[in-house]
Amino acid sequence: MNSLNELGQITATLSFVIGTSLLAFFLYYGESSFIIEFGLVFIIVVFTVNIVLLSVLIGSAILNPKHRLKLIKTCAIMLLNIPIVIFYICVLL
């Protein structure tokens, strides 16, 4: 159970760091087609991975009351990336 919790936290952190780096590269280098294409692929892949992992974490929280609070906290950390992505999209538009 602990490894699943750590995986969720690592995924949330990496998603944030890589997404922020892509935004910084885009703002620094301008409208590079490589950065735009890589960013779009990154968003699709990370969205899919995060949805699957979030679903597994929620299922584990339902089935394991002993670890429920810790798993829900990890879900909340993962969900914090959503408003950050929305803010980044607003910056880009």
Cα radius of gyration rounded to whole Å, the chain: 15
Non-local (6+) Cβ contacts of 49 within 8 A are 11
CA atoms within 13 A on the CB side of 42: 18
Instruction: Render pLDDT for 39-82 as a digit per residue (tens, 0 to 9).
Output: 889 989 999 999 999 999 999 999 999 999 999 999 999 999 99
Q: How many domains does the chain have?
A: 1
- Interatomic CA distance for residues 53 and 64, integer angstroms: 16
What is the pLDDT, as a whole number, of residue 91?
A: 84
Do the Cβ atoms of 91 and 26 come closer than 8 Å?
no
| Residue span of the structural domain in which 65 resides | 2-92
Q: Name the residue with higher pLDDT: 31 or 72.
A: 72
What is the pLDDT, as a whole number, of residue 69?
A: 93
Q: Name the residue with higher pLDDT: 32 or 9.
A: 9
Q: Name the residue with higher pLDDT: 14 or 37.
A: 14
Tell me the pTM. 0.84
Amino acid at 67: H
